[in-house]
Structure 1
Amino acid sequence: MNETSPVRYDGRAILVTGAGRGMGRTHALALADRGASVLVADRGVTMSGDGLDTGPANEVVAEIRAAGGTAEAYSGDLSTEDGARGAVTATLAAFGRIDGIIHNASTAPDAGPMYETPDEVFDRTIQVNVYAAFHMAKAAWPAFLSQKFGRIVVVTSHSIYGNANSVPYTTAKTGYIGFINSLSIEGADHNITVNAVAPTARSRMTERMQSSDYTDWLFETMTPETVTPTVAYLVSEASSVNGQILSVGGGRVARITLAESRGVLGLGESIDDVHQRIDAVLADGDWMFPASIAERGLVVAEMMGWKPSAVDRNPYAMRN
């Protein structure tokens, strides 16, 4: 059995959002324990995104420092461009560099049926998730390129499979799929990786679940501490994982991926053709797992008779 050195983060500076409580807190503590300088970003808001309480972030910073680690607190509003970019600026100001971002922060409002959901609830949920991830990544990208190293992990959700009365949250978390799929390709040649983790863990969100034998089991089994090792690994130098969605919780780690069936040819003649063969279209089996839109485009083109040449490797490349 090969022995390897422990994964460490000495000399690295990592921004962790939502780090005042729950999973974000355990991520921050674990990274600091292994040598990282950590920016603990947490505004201390309610689950609907209201209020301001700097206590949780300051408490985590104090805990890290008491253990001999290095950390600073940040309480900017990540739902705004200035607040999100400010988290990166604060990391650079505090530690002189930024090597990774773990975007754990989110709101989870009680939205109710879609037709009753206030527009501002939808907007805020998208802003603190996808918009914040975009603005932080954009602000950190020049540093990542300069040092030829960067790690981003965004926290998505199993709600990407669908969840009634949760359109704002589900839409926000699903938006991360396109974010990591594209940005991971942009960063691949520069030692920059971008991944997502869908966690299952006890949190302020899951504590709103109705009491049952299942919730009792979940709270005991799916602790925040069981999510942290995977998240922390993905922001380490040891990891080359890129463009992946990992399902994590309770000691189980699995891969989530997009797939497309090879489909049914010859359905372009009439509406009736589609009607008659829709069951075959929706049948499971014969899946392909394209790693990019370019790969998917070539696979489908070849299925339909196209004979690609070497210059067609990326059919979606823009013309000069």
Structure 2
Amino acid sequence: MALRAFIAASLLVVAGLCRAQSAAYTAGEPSTIDNSQMIYRVDLATRSTVPVGSAGLYNGDSTNPFTLISGLTFGTDQKLYAVALPSKAQQPLLVTLNPVSGNASVVSTISGLAGTPSAASLSLSFSCDGRLWMASSENNNFWEVTPASGQTRLVGTLGVKLTSLATKGSTLYGFGGSGTANLYSVDVGTGAAGLIGTYGIAVPNPVDGAFDASGTLWGLLRNYNDLNNSPLPSQLNTLAQIDAAKGTMSTLGTIADPRTNPLYKSRMRGLAIAPPVCVTDGPPPASTVGAPVFSPLGLGAFAASMLAAALLALRRQRRNRLR
């Protein structure tokens, strides 16, 4: 019985790993139920989306929904963080998002932002030491944020427009977007962005980026430029992978909309896959491009090998009993 339980538990673990490593989170259009912003789960292997739920209401007030969610990122504590702005608020909030329901819980009010930038322009990333960094694509400023209090410390000016941040090892990466088609590293001591390389393709709209647990760097090319209030999308939501060493981008295809109208894709903003990858090795080999860290084929082979080993052990156990 113990062996059978082990087999069942092993298969459940494999299934869980598959779901965890092939999924990303992003924010979409307003909910039709409470007008707060919807949270979606994106299957990286199939580029399909599943609505998780809405961010909900600030303090339960039906007239004050969370109408803007941006900067999605996982913390070192495994929680999903974001910047949120209720419809009646002036200052952005730091929140955690429930990955099962989408519901937002306030952590703190983000304060100390001189010349308060639009909340839609803000991006977040935790570094491996647990510190939280924030950038604005509106004024190109770069801050450190104390999560518990929401107090910000201006580190410096990036010098370029970055629409997203992501961490791997000791490097904080910045993603150019809205006309800046480059990948950068960010000096957390000064805030200065250093060029890593060019994407090699035009990116007229914001780009969101995130690493999966293996260090593969993914990108989301948003379907419209929300900073310029474009009335129609100039590109559809597109999934991509980026070479973290060179900056080159490979587009993988359009992310499918869960709604039936194929023209107006959900307005996605932000990309979060896994907590910071705290390793010092280089980027993953090129062979990983186009597949999540744990591919279905690889996980299937792993599960099959575990099952075969368990069945072999079970047969030996039965033989010993017959002797």
Question: TM-score under structure 1 normalisation?
Answer: 0.29
Larger helix proportion, structure 1 or 2?
A: 1
More contact order relative to length (CA 8 Å, sep ≥ 6): 2
Question: TM-score under structure 2 normalisation?
Answer: 0.29
